[in-house]
């Protein structure tokens, strides 16, 4: 056992189930109590007790080591040890665990934990508090302690403190966030609109930014008196404005500051609780809120605030590792099975604004191969897709239009031509021919992708056409059939073939194909789309994908289709 290796240098005892539960470690496979010693100040030796818990996944994860509750009292707050006594020995994302030597893993973790404790007691690693500052700031130190999370959409930390700072209170909290710092920029306005549309109750207020500091040390279970001392000691230049702000603000008194940690400063703050100036023995108006803060309510706890940066730049850096300055404007017409499945791929490029066009309502028959599900049945497809996208990224500007692309071109041509790219995924020859002609005549001045499929997704197609092109409909089609079809033309003309299936009703015909083949088609097509978009390709192109013929269906392929490799894209310049 891993614990046996520790018995060479320390006194080790296994905890029974009752003891493990009392320590709050019952979820671990086994727990032991380790009696050992540490060097404290002046190299004196003091006894100390640790708890080592082996998670069920050990040795594929590190053991969890805790400083005992009794010893936490005299050791105090030291770097890498949280309020519960957990000792952060290593960052598991940055090490390789030797799973074949669990005893050595346990011994090394034990030695490292003793080193952390000894350095903390002697004050040798005090500067390392900054490595885990957010953890200490957001710890719940006692039952009265409250910590709220907020978002900051500020492009940069405010300059020339003290200064007022705008914030939005979200009374019923959005994804756990209670407020938003902002400068009224366009992305904040989009998020605000999203919150209003979602039924959130919001209040606009003004807070105070005190300035920047460094080297704050826990504990942070602050009272009004503690917070006031921080202002006096750390931000003396802001003291007068602080006093003015406290007295002039009726409620939701927000104080913010930044602390220098690493490359980017962190923005933090606290709420001052409501201050009651109506006191027995005092005439109305004799007591100011500041008087109350420093006397009657000096021991009231403030609510600490931690802000996370919510900007497109930060999200891009956090995922891609770099900030992207490219933000596309896209218009997308046709949100059926293919269009709706393509949308998440296209938005991954980095979309600033997106126009969605489709007049149709989602029905039960659609959902087996559609991005949307039963909750959206009976609603316009554009509204369902818009809501889906904004839930994932409310910073994107998504507009929906329940009209046909023909009406949109006639009535909103200016919106369309402000787009970087147009996607037509309607699968109707007559509509596509109309748009081809509008491109040829420069009525549409936006490069356009036409995407459609053949039955059973034996073939999938994409045309990429530039405005002002010199092509004609006859360059693509013969007898209303695409020249690069994978299925032979004879098969389309034979009424006995199951090219279209039919249910009851005057518009009961539908093209058969499944979600699996949609995925295969788009996974092959999307890399070409990205390359065309990012490369700003100026050519007119045809891309054809050949899928797999269902075993139950026998359809002859065209001469062109027989030349293609199953699962691959063939690109032709037009």
pLDDT of residue 497: 60
| C-alpha of 355 from chain center | 22
pLDDT at 509: 54
Token code pair at residue 253: 């008194």
Residue in the structure block whose two tokens are 């104080």: 255
Where do the DSSP E strands lie in 143-283?
A: 146-152, 163-174, 177-182, 202-213, 253-259, 266-272
Query: Which residue, chain included where needed, has tokens 């994302």?
Result: 93
Half-sphere exposure of 415 (CA within 13 A, CB side): 18
Distance CA 213, CA 306 (A): 16
Q: How far is CA 551 from CA 88, 444, 456, 458, 548, in A?
A: 57, 43, 11, 12, 9
* DSSP structure string for 462-525: EEEE-TT----HHHHEETTEETT-SB-HHHHH-TTS-SSEE-SSTT-EE----HHHHHHHHHHH
Q: DSSP character for 564?
A: S
Confidence at residue 502, expressed as pLDDT on a 0 to 100 scale: 41
pLDDT at 400: 96
Which residues contact residue 354 at a Cβ distance below 8 angstroms, ignoring those fewer than 6 apart?
329, 330, 331, 332, 347, 389, 396, 397, 398, 399
CA-wise closest residue to 330 among 311, 315, 313, 352? 352
Tokens of 236: 């003396």
Q: How far is CA 407 from CA 359, 404, 433, 467, in A?
A: 10, 5, 15, 19
Question: According to CATH, where is 3.10.110 located in the chain?
Answer: 2-124
Structural fold of domain 2-124: Ubiquitin Conjugating Enzyme (3.10.110)
| Percentages (nearest 5) of helix, strand, coil residues in the chain | 35, 25, 40
Q: What is the pLDDT along the chain (574 residues), one digit of tens a residue?
A: 677 778 778 899 999 999 999 999 999 999 999 999 998 888 889 999 999 999 999 999 999 999 999 999 899 889 999 888 999 998 888 889 999 999 999 999 999 999 999 999 988 888 887 778 888 899 998 888 999 999 999 988 888 899 999 999 999 999 999 999 999 999 999 999 999 999 999 999 999 999 999 888 899 999 999 999 999 999 999 999 999 999 999 889 999 999 987 667 889 999 999 999 998 888 888 899 999 999 999 999 999 999 999 987 767 665 555 556 678 999 999 999 999 999 999 999 989 999 999 999 999 988 888 999 999 999 999 999 999 999 999 999 999 999 999 999 999 999 999 999 999 999 888 899 999 999 999 999 999 999 999 999 999 999 999 999 998 877 888 888 888 999 998 888 776 666 654 444 434 456 778 899 999 999 999 999 999 999 999 999 999 999 998 887 888 899 999 999 999 999 999 8
Residues of the chain with CATH 3.40.50.720: 320-573
The SS3 call for residue 459 is strand
Angle subtended at Cα 338 by Cα 334 and Cα 342, rounded to the nearest 5 degrees: 90
What's the longest Cα–Cα distance across the chain?
A: 99
CB hemisphere CA count around 124 (13 angstroms): 11
CB 450 within 8 A of CB 429: no
- Whole-prediction pTM value? 0.82
Q: Report whether 542 contacts 571 (CB < 8 A).
A: yes
Cα–Cα–Cα angle for 316, 319, 325, rounded to 5 degrees: 20
**What is the three-class DSSP state of 572?**
strand
Report in angstroms the alpha-carbon separations of 287 from 5, 147, 302, 503: 66, 29, 20, 79
Fold of 320-573: Rossmann fold (3.40.50)
Tell me what pLDDT residue 500 has: 57
């Amino acid at each position: 056992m891993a614990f046996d290796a520790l018995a060479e240098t320390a006194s080790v005892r296994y905890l029974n189930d009752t003891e493990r539960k009392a320590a709050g470690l019952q979820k671990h496979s086994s727990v032991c109590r380790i009696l050992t010693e540490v060097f404290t100040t002046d190299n004196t030796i003091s006894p100390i007790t640790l708890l080592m818990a082996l998670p069920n996944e050990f040795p594929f994860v590190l053991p969890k080591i805790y400083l005992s509750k009794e010893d936490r009292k005299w050791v105090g707050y030291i770097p890498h040890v949280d309020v519960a006594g957990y000792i952060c020995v290593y960052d598991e994302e940055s090490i390789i665990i030797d799973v074949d030597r669990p005893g050595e893993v346990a011994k090394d973790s034990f030695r490292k934990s003793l080193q952390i404790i000894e350095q903390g007691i002697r004050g040798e690693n005090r500067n390392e508090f900054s490595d885990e500052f957010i953890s200490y700031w957001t710890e719940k130190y006692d039952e009265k302690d409250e910590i709220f999370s907020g978002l900051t959409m500020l492009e940069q930390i405010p300059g020339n403190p003290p200064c007022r700072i705008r914030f939005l209170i979200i009374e019923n909290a959005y994804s756990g966030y209670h407020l938003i710092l902002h400068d009224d920029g366009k992305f904040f306005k989009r998020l605000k609109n999203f919150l209003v549309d979602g039924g959130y109750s919001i209040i606009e207020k003004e807070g105070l930014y005190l300035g920047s500091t460094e080297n704050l040390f826990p504990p942070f279970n602050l009272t009004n008196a503690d917070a006031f001392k921080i202002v006096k000691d750390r931000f003396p230049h802001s003291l007068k404005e602080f006093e003015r702000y406290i007295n002039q603000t009726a409620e939701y008194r927000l104080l913010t500051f930044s602390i220098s940690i690493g490359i980017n400063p962190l923005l933090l703050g606290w709420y001052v609780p409501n201050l009651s100036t109506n006191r027995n023995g005092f005439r109305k108006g004799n007591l100011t809120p500041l008087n109350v803060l420093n006397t009657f309510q000096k021991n009231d706890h403030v609510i600490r605030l931690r802000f996370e940066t919510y900007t497109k730049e930060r999200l891009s850096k956090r995922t891609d590792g770099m900030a992207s300055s490219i933000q596309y404007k896209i218009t997308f017409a046709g949100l059926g099975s293919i269009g709706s499945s393509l949308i998440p791929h296209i938005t991954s490029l980095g979309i600033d604004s997106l126009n969605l066009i489709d007049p149709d309502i989602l029905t039960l028959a659609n959902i087996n191969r559609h991005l949307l599900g039963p909750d959206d049945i009976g609603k316009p497809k554009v509204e369902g897709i818009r809501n889906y996208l904004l839930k994932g990224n409310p910073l994107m500007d998504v507009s929906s239009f329940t009209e046909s692309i023909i009406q949109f071109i006639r009535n909103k041509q200016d919106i369309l031509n402000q787009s970087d790219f147009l996607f037509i995924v309607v699968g109707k020859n007559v509509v596509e021919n109309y748009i081809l002609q509008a491109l040829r005549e420069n009525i549409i001045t936006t490069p356009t992708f036409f995407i459609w499929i053949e039955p059973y997704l034996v073939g999938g197609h994409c045309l990429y056409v530039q405005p002002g092109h010199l092509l004609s409909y006859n360059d693509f089609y013969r007898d209303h059939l695409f020249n690069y079809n994978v299925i032979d033309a004879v098969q389309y003309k034979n009424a006995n073939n199951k090219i279209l299936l039919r249910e009851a009703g005057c518009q009961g015909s539908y093209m058969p194909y499944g979600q699996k083949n949609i995925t295969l088609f788009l996974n092959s097509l999307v890399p070409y789309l990205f390359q065309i978009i990012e490369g700003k390709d100026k050519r007119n192109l045809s891309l054809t994908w050949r899928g797999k013929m269902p075993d139950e269906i026998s359809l002859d392929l065209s001469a062109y289709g027989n030349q293609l490799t199953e699962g691959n894209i063939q690109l032709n310049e037009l």
